Structure 1
Amino acid sequence: MDSTIVLILLQDGLLNGAIYALLGLALVLVFTVTRVIFIPQGEFVTYGALTLAFIINGREPGTLKLLLIAGVLVFLLELFSAIRNKTFEGFWRTIAWTLVLPVALYLVSPYIVGGTIPLWLSVLYSLAIVVPLGPMLHRLVYQRLSESSVLVLLITSVAVHFALTGLGLVFFGAEGWRTPAFLEGQVMLGDMSWSAQTIFVLLSCAVLITGLWIFFGRTLYGRALRATAVNRRGARLVGISTIMAGRLSFGLAAAIGAFSGMLIAPVTTIYYDTGFLIGLKGFVAAIVGGLGSYPLTAIGAIFVGVLEAFASFWASAYKEVIVFTLIIPVLLWRSFSSRGVEDED
């Protein structure tokens, strides 16, 4: 192995690691706020990539119908809750994001799907379709289980993963898809030639991580999420809605997952079940960070990406085994260095 091969493998490792970092950060965010190990994170990667691919190829994405169905179900749940509690204050917001938004996206789809529109507009439209599915999923499945144990939430996440994978097969089919690169060409950095797409992915991940840092540190909603992550009971006592925090965290996770899928769709073929394996590698990074540390998760993700790149060169048939075996020493180290804590009542 010469230096050229090492640099190429490092480039691939950094590209993969940046994506795993985003997914790992999303997993940590959801877990710290809601105690949900969000296994379906990978499905949002798939949904985002395939929604964009369908739009570019002139086909109506199945997620649009899924959004309409989920919106109606959430609306009915919220309506029954409002009738039972005899309060309709702010119900117009429910109508706006469960009915008006999905119907509006459906009505404008003929002008977007297959049209000669810029790629970035297709990306924004795809995000507008996929991101609301995160809060809707929280309302349909997790809100009623918010006080359950972590084990119950984990089992629920496994069930939701299988359900979303099956829906992906129904709405997208078994065929694989790719999307055009955001940027074409090569960029010379020193003696190393980088593809413009790789540079775009790395810069996009850096901008997104910086945006999340600003959001959590400088905005009211970001600080509310941080407070809920530190102490859910204390957050409720000072007037922070844990339901709002849960929906917001699921929405951010859906946005991160969908955008990550769009970033990798130009470099790898995406199938209805591709996201699960990618999400698991983000989960390995989150485990390195102890499901609580954002910096350690990012560092772990870069290490996972680089390890995977070199493993694919030396032992491509066992690269997945090598990557997932990494979780064993990390769990052993965590078990010996951490004290057990009880869940909140």
Structure 2
Amino acid sequence: MKKVLVARPIFPDVIERLRQYFEVDANPGAPLAADEFARRMADRDGALLAGDPVTAKVLEGAPNLKVVSNMAVGYNNFDMQALNAHGVLGTNTPDVLNESTADFGWALMMAAARRIAESEHFLRAGKWGTWSYDAFLGTDVYGATLGVLGMGRIGQALARRARGFNMRVIYHNRSRVAPEIEAELNAEYVSKADLLKRADHLVLVLPYTAENRHTIGAAELASMQPTATLTNIARGGIVDDAALIQALRNKTIAAAGLDVFEGEPNFNRDFLTVPNVVLTPHIASATESTRRAMANLAADNLIAALGEGPRAGNPPNPINPEVLKK
């Protein structure tokens, strides 16, 4: 039997699915340290991962490896140049988390706009004594302008939600979406500069690449409205976290909602010193049905890529399909 590594704990029934086809080394505990991860990958034909770094060094030590299946949409944990050089297929799990992630992005945006976390901390600390007309004044969402940076599947799902709030939708993307999608979403394509200037609530939904690192930095934050909010459900590193902390302190923007961070889980602890930010630990896709769908799709990719199951040789979600032709 071919050998696979499951590097993070996942649903037991998914492990059992894999054991129908493979010899499975399943890690039941904390993420593997780099050296241990490389050691356990050394004799594997495939691996089911959740953000574990697949580097050139790992690949050099794993001569039998054919596929790395990421239980995520993003795959910035993969050294794609090294994967291609070693003829290793990478796969991901798009689409199945669109709606759950969009729901969560909307919740973060609302929480930031209406100062929900800040006011809850105030209440829990026993500080609530009387009503005041100016207590925790936030910004309206209904009738405001939603700015979407990255109009992919999740960005489009967010834009659909804006219709129920009577919002104007503007967006910026590497390229414009199809005219029929713009019409469906009632979305206006604008420059990045115009997006930053006009958005009352800016949501980031773009993939992480080297080019996208610090897409939102001090200059971009300074160009936003002082009443604006920023929500990041994309990837850490797209925002310069140190610059954002300073902008929140200085009230350059009103508030932020963040589910992702640079260097996570070792995020910048200065975020804990500013009240006008809502912080969550990368859980935008965390509903049971969505995480099950992600795990099963990652398993489908792994099984098919290793020549097993009903889609043998034809995995649903290849990132670099050109290696299948080699």
TM-score, scaled relative to structure 2:
0.25
Q: Which has the higher contact order (CA 8 A, sep 6+)?
A: 1
**Bigger share in strand:** 2
Query: Whose helix proportion is higher, 1 or 2?
Result: 1
